[in-house]
Amino acid sequence: MPVIKKNFDTHSDESDFYNPYTYLSFPSGEPIKNASEFIGPLTNLTSSLHLHRLTPAELQLLNSTSPFRWTSDDIINITNGFCVDKCALITLFLSKFYKVKTIAVGGLLDTPMSFSTFPGGSYTSSNVIADSAGDKTPAAPGINALILTIREAYDFNNDNITTGVLEYLFKPADYRLYYNESNGRDSSFLWIIS
């Protein structure tokens, strides 16, 4: 809380987990007004929802980009399920809002498989938290560091946020492919079949 308050007081533009100026409130898209809004309600132990602000360079790139020649019907997302964090969120976004087809490869025969793993918001370790907070304690060896989810990502249904935390929801792929002797040695064969 002291680091977040300091960032508010100084209007810091440094990009880190604890700087509310690098985020926008969700779903309003407005700047975050205070530390309580940034942290979220503590009664249900869930974090507030945030959007990352676009940097000036990202805004310039977005404004100078011409429309793509292809549509979502021209795109297929093929994954072995090891698609985490931002990869999982982008894949889910394309699948849900633009109806991009998903293919999961591998897994157990005739058992539904998700096209992503851990579509959570963000995670960090106790070492990163201590370092960002200015704590001078020695870092725990990486294998012993505590990994924490610091922002959650929620499912959408008809443009409304539901209570389902994506980290715990199963999202099956539209189609399945299995590894065989050829595509197990050379994954480019998977694209030929697709």
Rounded Cα distance, 29 and 50, in Å: 8
CA distance 104 to 160: 27
Q: What is the DSSP letter of 22?
A: G
Predicted TM-score (pTM) of this structure = 0.58
Q: Give me the DSSP letters along 122-174.
A: EEEEHHHHHHHTT--SPPPPGGGPPEEEEE--EEEETTEEEEEEGGG---B-S
Is residue 45 within 8 Å of residue 52, measured between CB atoms?
no
Q: How far apart are CA 22 and CA 1, in angstroms?
A: 16
Integer Cα distance of 97 and 94 in angstroms:
6
Residue 61, classed as helix, strand or coil, is helix
pLDDT digits (tens, 9 = 90+) for 99-154: 999 999 998 888 989 888 766 666 677 777 677 666 666 665 655 667 666 666 77
Residues 157-184 have pLDDT tens digits of: 655 556 577 777 788 899 999 988 888 8
